Amino acid sequence: MTSSAGSSEPAGTPELPEYERQTLRMAEREALAAGFVQQIELTVGPLLARPMAECAVLDIGCGYGHSLVEWSGRARSAVGIEPSPGLAQYARELVAERGADNVTVREGPVGELEDVEAFDVAVLDNVLEHIDDQPDALHRLGRALRVGGVAYILVPNRLWPIEAHYGLPFLSYLPVPLADRYLQLTGRGTSYQDASYAPTVGRLRKLFAARPELEWRLTLPGDVSLAEGGDSPLYRYGVAALRRFPALWWISKSLLVVVEKRATT
């Protein structure tokens, strides 16, 4: 197990999804990977029956693999799933270069996840909004988690007025054909389809109502200072407002969901 400190990047630039070419946010988050993984551990660790060092982690939509490298030093093992061939290859090369021999990268969508009770922790970091069949994804997630396992799901809120991937006002409010035209007119892209599945709080309620083994709740990060933008006064005011008025989750910028898998009779 190794950390990423002091290591170089694999050569070459992967072929990126359109939204990623627009923002490059996953690449920019390399320096934040350690803090992000620590944030997850602080948030879900108290819910786990065993220490994180003994846990198997599933990272759905692992992107460039920077978080996987961090998991290699914190968890017993980690598996990353990435549907983009370019990003999956980059992640494999990064994992190999960093000597993270307890990490595996699989290329493919979550719809190909067939593992049964194999993981203690699952992570979907800004991934759910790219999944068209979300009921199936949650079914597969629930099946892959062991009883007592926990999922950490961070997803943009469809009702936030500035769309998370393209930075355009009210883009997520529009039907996909109109959103496509909006992207084309602004020169930000050609198709919004892939990023168009961001949920609302109401949508999350419906999704999890169909999965009684998955007990979910909206929560705040374990350590606000580790969150992206967590050092800004605006972020801290937002967190304080959510603590005092939980109904504000309906219009918050992002939705942070913690899911615990319960035994069913």
Per-residue pLDDT at 224: 82
Per-residue pLDDT at 8: 46
The CB-side HSE value for 227 (13 A sphere, CA atoms) comes to: 19
Per-residue pLDDT at 25: 53
Per-residue pLDDT at 2: 34
Per-residue pLDDT at 235: 87
CA nearest neighbour of 23 among 203, 200, 228: 228
Tokens at 76, concatenated? 């017993």
Whole-model pTM: value is 0.89
Q: Where are the domains of the chain?
A: 18-158+198-260
Per-residue pLDDT at 226: 80
How far is the C-alpha of 197 from the C-alpha of 181, rounded, in Å? 17
How far is the C-alpha of 101 from the C-alpha of 80, rounded, in Å? 13
How far is the C-alpha of 20 from the C-alpha of 195, rounded, in Å? 10
How far is the C-alpha of 106 from the C-alpha of 26, rounded, in Å? 18
Give the CATH class of 18-158+198-260: alpha beta
Per-residue pLDDT at 65: 95
For every one of its 265 residues, what pLDDT tens digit does the chain have, with 9 covering 90 and above? 333 333 445 555 555 556 555 454 545 567 788 889 999 999 999 999 999 999 999 999 999 999 999 999 999 999 999 999 999 999 999 999 999 999 999 999 999 999 999 999 999 999 999 999 999 999 999 999 999 999 999 999 999 999 999 999 999 999 999 999 999 999 999 999 999 999 999 999 999 999 999 999 999 988 888 877 777 888 889 999 999 999 999 999 999 999 999 987 6
Q: 85-121 burial, b for 16+ CB within 10 Å, e for fewer?
A: ebbbbbbbbbbebbebebbebebebbeebeeeebbbb
